Structure 1
Amino acid sequence: MRPDSDHVRQVLADAWERWATRCGELTAEQWSTRTRCPGWDVRALVAHLCPDKAMFDQLNAAIIDGPASVTDPAALLRRFNEPGGVAHTTADDLAERAVADAGSLTAPAATARFAECARIVRETPMPQQTVIRYPVVESTTLAVVAEVALMEATVHLLDLADAVGGVDPSPDALAITRDLLVGVPDAVAVVEVLAGRTAPETALPAIR
């Protein structure tokens, strides 16, 4: 069973608030610290993840009638991460874009953007059944997009913590992200890895 969309929305807002707080504390040295994401310092990591309030207008404009093609965030990630999927074909472009965007991003600006978007998410209902147009899969729901956004915020918050410390994801964010990522690979492969029957590389990494 997927988590309640209102709960995911609140946990996502909390995650972005944690980003806002930590960005507001970063020193100039920490801002340029290398991360474990190849080619990215902290500034580029923040630039990659930092939300913009314009995206809410884009999501509202994408709302459509009818059933969604994808209603499970794990299925969405599976499609993106299959051989030849967009997670692989666009990875280099995304990495380069983050570095380029980082050039004009300051820590105070990132703090403001995270805080503002967290406030909007907290205040904006996100019905489980709201369908939007979405690249690659044609359509999905706002609830799916929110859960994937929470996963991204959580995984990259761990990257930030690894680089400069001083922040941790919430227990709820970790639990929701764990359950989502476990659902991405083939179920048999995951069970055999977790049971120690096969090597982790047969099922991991689940996403790029």
Structure 2
Amino acid sequence: MDDVVVYRDRLDALERTWRVWAELGTDLTEEQWTAATRCPGWDVAAVYAHHSTFPRDMDGPLPPSMSSSLEEPVTAVEALRRFNAPGGLAYAAAEAVADRAVSGAAEAGRGELVERFAVRGPGAVRRLRAAEATRVVPWGGTGVVVELVEAVRLVLLEATVHLLDVQRALGRPPLVPPQALGDTARLLAEVAPPVDFIEAATGRSARSPLPVLR
């Protein structure tokens, strides 16, 4: 499928998913904000604080294009494999990420956390729609560069996985836009070693290649 079409569809899915985050957060009680999640040490507010940095930071000028960089852009699959490899940033930075989530929740008011999804989210999506799908940008502090179509795929994965974390913590049904679920499921399947995944998924092997993310 054409990159432009894929990019547009992923942005549509991300916009819908962030809208769910905004609507869910609007009516939460303080007891619900402080409910424990399956992310160790994180309550619902910490998960909101963690993921809401994406719409907050993306609702601003895009980083300079890295198209002229000597480094080749990697796919979302390769970025996740590197990030989650033994000794990768998923392990090395885990404690710092957790601390930032908890401190971010303490510093931001509940209203601000919701506003990041309700207001900054649509703003970020508008900025991304005006950019080319193949624009090459740095991916956080990972040291790799990705095309925007792949960067959005990574953000959509984060939005989906952490929305499920929140919904489960609140005892809510897992209501996530179908397109976000589909893209996330495909990405996770692509990250897994293909032979191991196929044989486990078809009952031909008891050895599971999952989980693929820390």
Per the normalisation by structure 1, the TM-score is 0.90
Matched-pair contact (CA < 8 Å) for 1:150–1:177: yes
Identity %: 33
For the structure 1 residues 172 and 205, does the alpha-carbon distance in structure 2 shift closer, same or farther, using more than 3 Å as the test?
Answer: same
Which residue number in structure 1 is paired with residue 196 of structure 2? 189
Matched-pair contact (CA < 8 Å) for 1:15–1:170: yes
Matched-pair contact (CA < 8 Å) for 1:129–1:141: yes
The one-character-per-residue Cα deviations of 1:95-115 (angstroms, maximum 9, x if unpaired) are 111111111222211111111
Please report the RMSD computed on the Cα atoms of aligned residues, expressed in angstroms: 2.0
1:198 aligns to 2:205 (yes or no): yes
Match runs of 1:85-104 below 5 Å = 85-104=88-107
Gaps of 5+ in 1: none
Which residue number in structure 2 is paired with residue 132 of structure 1? 137
For the structure 1 residues 65 and 127, does the alpha-carbon distance in structure 2 shift closer, same or farther, using more than 3 Å as the test?
Answer: same
> 2-side partners of 1:94 and 1:142: how far apart?
23
Matched-pair contact (CA < 8 Å) for 1:70–1:137: no
Aligned residue for 1:175, secondary structure, equals helix
> 1-side partners of 2:156 and 2:187: how far apart?
10
For the structure 1 residues 97 and 199, does the alpha-carbon distance in structure 2 shift closer, same or farther, using more than 3 Å as the test?
Answer: farther
Which residue number in structure 2 is paired with residue 148 of structure 1? 154
> 2-side partners of 1:207 and 1:139: how far apart?
20
Aligned residue for 2:138, secondary structure, equals strand
> 2-side partners of 1:97 and 1:78: how far apart?
23
Matched-pair contact (CA < 8 Å) for 1:81–1:88: yes
Aligned partner letter, 2:37: T
Work out which of the residue numbers 41, 46, 51 in structure 2 matches 1:39: 41
Match runs of 1:175-186 below 5 Å = 175-186=182-193
> 2-side partners of 1:137 and 1:27: how far apart?
39
Matched-pair contact (CA < 8 Å) for 1:11–1:173: yes
Match runs of 1:5-84 below 5 Å = 5-51=7-53, 52-57=55-60, 60-66=62-68, 69-84=72-87
Matched-pair contact (CA < 8 Å) for 2:73–2:136: no
Matched-pair contact (CA < 8 Å) for 1:154–1:173: yes
Matched-pair contact (CA < 8 Å) for 1:13–1:121: no
> 2-side partners of 1:75 and 1:12: how far apart?
21
Q: CA deviation at 1:170?
A: 0.6
> 2-side partners of 1:77 and 1:55: how far apart?
20
Gaps of 5+ in 2: none
> 2-side partners of 1:116 and 1:56: how far apart?
9
Matched-pair contact (CA < 8 Å) for 1:22–1:166: no
The one-character-per-residue Cα deviations of 1:21-67 (angstroms, maximum 9, x if unpaired) are 11111011101111111111111111111135343436x22322237
Aligned partner letter, 2:7: S
Q: CA deviation at 1:186?
A: 1.1
Per the normalisation by structure 2, the TM-score is 0.88
Aligned residue for 1:199, secondary structure, equals coil
> 2-side partners of 1:197 and 1:70: how far apart?
35
